[in-house]
């Protein structure tokens, strides 16, 4: 068996220990004689799995009592619909446009309410986080939407926008659990699991209880109502049982590492190995504003498209997978989520150095 260094933006690398552990339990989970996939979600055993996942996540993020944790389906994209459908009161929301995901979220929200795009970095292909010092927050905004880490471009908010008391909603799909955050600053945080915490098919929503309303359009599909999911402990219908189980294992893996402060230190060290190299290379360069750099998705290019393609071909042959940048911007992108070992990043930099030497001049 040979595992590659997988730099995919998502679905993405998971901790090898978690995968091994899950493999060991595949056929017979804790003497139940069945796999978690085959188990009733109403069984005592499964209830314990989901309860433990929630309590470990609460520990990791220090989630206040007045927030609910929901494990849902439909990926990050379904939240683009659920957020406006469930949070609208005045029918107005502010969106900060920092990339394709924020744009998609805003487009979807326009079906339900008036969307004000209060800041954007589209003018420079989303290569920076816009100035947040003087945002024109709408007086009647039901919420302010941001996409914390912009997976495609490799930018990240390093401070939160001042929402002037309005509810902050964050799409944290690609930086979830990569660093400590203060949950109480947000009204709602959501994250599709497949970037940093588990398999595709599960999305995690952390929502302040007072935002869970029953007074929403009664035509709202039942599965798109936060109140229904909250009342039923994410089990109104069958939840993504196996996905939640794996997320739970990743939460334990993080707790064992020392929690989010510890993983943040590792992530900073890891990202710096790559950024430091890019900053002194004569062939490769990072494509985003230095102050806006992501710790999770590192986007870079070389001096020509031809060389990019040669690099992609040779790196793949050498066991570095999924380094191709998103089709909308080209170049390269190394997604170095929590589960990417430091050795993986170091091996990539060694390869890049060697490639640069072989192709200079
Ligand atoms: C991947 C991604 C999404 C979309 O997730 P799906 O699960 O495919 O719907 C949304 N937002 C961000 C920031 C992402 O990285």
**3-state secondary structure at position 219:** coil
Give the model's pLDDT for residue 329. Answer: 93
Q: What angle do CA 205, 210, 212 make, to 5 degrees?
A: 50
Residues 197, 174 contacting (CB under 8 angstroms): no
Q: Are 223 and 322 members of one domain?
A: no
Q: What is the CATH number of the domain that holds 151?
A: 3.40.640.10
Q: Are 53 and 135 members of one domain?
A: yes
Active-site entry in 56, 94, 101, 270: 101
User: Within 6 Å (CB) of ligand 1, which residues are found?
Assistant: 10, 75-77, 101, 147, 151, 171, 173-174, 192, 195
User: With 90 as the cut, is the pLDDT of residue 15 above it?
Assistant: yes
Q: Rounded to 5 degrees, what are φ and ψ at 190?
A: -130, 155
Active-site entry in 56, 148, 171, 308: 171
CA 79 to ligand 1: nearest atom: 9
> What average pLDDT does the segment 230-254 reach?
98
- Report which protein residue has its CA nearest ligand 1's atom 14: 173
Q: Are 263 and 278 members of one domain?
A: yes
- Look-up of token digits 């690609």: 174
Q: Are 58 and 149 members of one domain?
A: yes
Q: Is residue 4 part of a domain?
A: no
Give the model's pLDDT for residue 340. Answer: 98
> What is the spatial distance between Cα 57 and Cα 67, in angstroms, rounded to a whole number?
12
Residues 234, 226 contacting (CB under 8 angstroms): no
Q: Of the residues 230, 257, 284, which one is the last residue of a structural domain?
A: 257
Q: Of the residues 214, 241, 257, which one is the last residue of a structural domain?
A: 257
Confidence grade of residue 26 (pLDDT, cut at 50, 70, 90) = very high
Rounded percentage of the chain residues whose pLDDT exceeds 90: 98
Q: Are 309 and 222 members of one domain?
A: no
Q: Are 251 and 294 members of one domain?
A: no
Q: In angstroms, how far is CA 47 from the centroid of its own chain?
A: 26
Q: What angle do CA 322, 344, 295 make, to 5 degrees?
A: 75
Q: Are 240 and 347 members of one domain?
A: no
DSSP assignment string, 43-54? SHHHHHHHHHHH
User: With 90 as the cut, is the pLDDT of residue 150 above it?
Assistant: yes
Q: Are 214 and 275 members of one domain?
A: no
Residues 247, 255 contacting (CB under 8 angstroms): no
**Nearest one of 126, 125, 133 to 98, comparing CA atoms:** 126
Q: Is residue 3 part of a domain?
A: no
Confidence grade of residue 27 (pLDDT, cut at 50, 70, 90) = very high
Q: Is 195 designated active site?
A: yes
- Report which protein residue has its CA nearest ligand 1's atom 10: 76
Distance 300 CA to ligand 1 centre (A): 21
As for how many domains the chain has, the answer is 2
pTM above 0.95, yes or no: yes
Residues 344, 335 contacting (CB under 8 angstroms): no
Instruction: Give the burial class of 361: count Cβ atoms within 10 A of its Cβ; 0-12 exposed, 13-18 middle, 19 or more buried.
Output: exposed
Q: Are 245 and 265 members of one domain?
A: no
Predicted confidence (pLDDT) per residue in 308-352, tens digit? 999 999 999 999 999 999 999 999 999 999 999 999 999 999 999
Q: Is residue 124 part of a domain?
A: yes
Cβ neighbours of residue 25 closer than 8 Å, sequence gap 6 or more = 35, 36
Q: Are 253 and 213 members of one domain?
A: yes
Active-site entry in 68, 156, 166, 195: 195
Domain ranges, residue 175: 17-257
> What average pLDDT does the segment 179-197 reach?
98
User: With 90 as the cut, is the pLDDT of residue 1 above it?
Assistant: no
- Please indicate if the annotation marks 194 as binding a ligand: yes
User: With 70 as the cut, is the pLDDT of residue 121 above it?
Assistant: yes
- Please indicate if the annotation marks 287 as binding a ligand: no
Residues 96, 125 contacting (CB under 8 angstroms): no
User: With 90 as the cut, is the pLDDT of residue 182 above it?
Assistant: yes
> What is the spatial distance between Cα 127 and Cα 121, in angstroms, rounded to a whole number?
7
Distance 11 CA to ligand 1 centre (A): 10
Distance 57 CA to ligand 1 centre (A): 20
> What average pLDDT does the segment 108-116 reach?
98
Q: Is 269 designated active site?
A: no
CA 77 to ligand 1: nearest atom: 9
Q: What is the CATH number of the domain that holds 293?
A: 3.90.1150.10
- Look-up of token digits 């190394």: 334
Q: Are 93 and 156 members of one domain?
A: yes
> What is the spatial distance between Cα 310 and Cα 27, in angstroms, rounded to a whole number?
43
Q: Of the residues 223, 257, 291, which one is the last residue of a structural domain?
A: 257
> What is the spatial distance between Cα 250 and Cα 245, in angstroms, rounded to a whole number?
9
Predicted confidence (pLDDT) per residue in 87-101, tens digit? 999 999 999 999 999
Instruction: Give the burial class of 357: count Cβ atoms within 10 A of its Cβ; 0-12 exposed, 13-18 middle, 19 or more buried.
Output: exposed
> What average pLDDT does the segment 161-178 reach?
98
Distance 58 CA to ligand 1 centre (A): 22
Q: Is 101 designated active site?
A: yes
Q: What is the mean pLDDT of the chain?
A: 97
Q: Are 319 and 279 members of one domain?
A: yes
Confidence grade of residue 360 (pLDDT, cut at 50, 70, 90) = confident
């Amino acid at each position: 068996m040979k595992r590659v260094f997988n730099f995919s933006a998502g679905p993405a690398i998971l901790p090898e220990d978690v995968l091994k552990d899950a493999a060991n339990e595949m056929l017979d989970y804790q003497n139940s004689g069945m796999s978690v996939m085959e188990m009733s979600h109403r069984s005592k055993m499964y209830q314990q799995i989901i309860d433990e996942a929630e309590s470990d996540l609460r520990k990791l993020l220090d989630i206040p009592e007045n927030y609910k944790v929901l494990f849902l389906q439909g990926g990050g994209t379904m939240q683009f619909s659920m957020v406006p459908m469930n949070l609208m009161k005045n029918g107005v929301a502010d969106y900060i446009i920092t990339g394709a995901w924020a744009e998609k979220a805003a487009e979807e929200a326009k079906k339900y309410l008036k969307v004000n795009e209060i800041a954007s970095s589209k003018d420079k292909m989303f290569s920076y986080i816009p100035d947040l010092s003087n945002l024109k927050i709408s007086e009647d905004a039901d919420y302010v939407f941001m996409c914390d880490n912009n997976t495609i471009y490799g930018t990240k908010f390093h401070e939160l926008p001042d929402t002037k008391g309005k509810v902050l909603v964050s799409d944290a799909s690609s930086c979830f659990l990569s660093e400590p955050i203060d949950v109480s600053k947000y009204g709602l945080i959501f994250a599709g699991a497949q970037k940093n915490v588990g398999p595709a098919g599960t999305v995690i929503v952390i929502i302040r209880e007072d935002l869970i309303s029953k007074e929403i359009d009664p035509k709202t599909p039942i599965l798109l109502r936060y109140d229904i999911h909250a009342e039923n402990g994410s089990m109104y219908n069958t939840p993504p049982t196996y996905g939640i189980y794996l997320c739970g294992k990743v939460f334990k893996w993080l707790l064992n590492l020392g929690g989010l402060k510890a993983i943040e230190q590792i992530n900073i060290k890891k990202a710096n190995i790559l950024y430091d190299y890019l900053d002194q290379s004569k062939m490769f360069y990072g494509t985003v504003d230095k102050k806006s750099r992501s710790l999770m998705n590192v986007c870079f290019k070389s001096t020509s498209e031809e060389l990019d393609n040669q690099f992609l071909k040779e790196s793949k042959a050498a066991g570095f997978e999924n380094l191709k940048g998103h089709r909308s911007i080209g170049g390269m992108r190394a997604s170095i989520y929590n589960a990417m070992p430091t050795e993986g990043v170091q091996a990539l930099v060694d390869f890049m150095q060697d490639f640069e030497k072989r192709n200079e001049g």
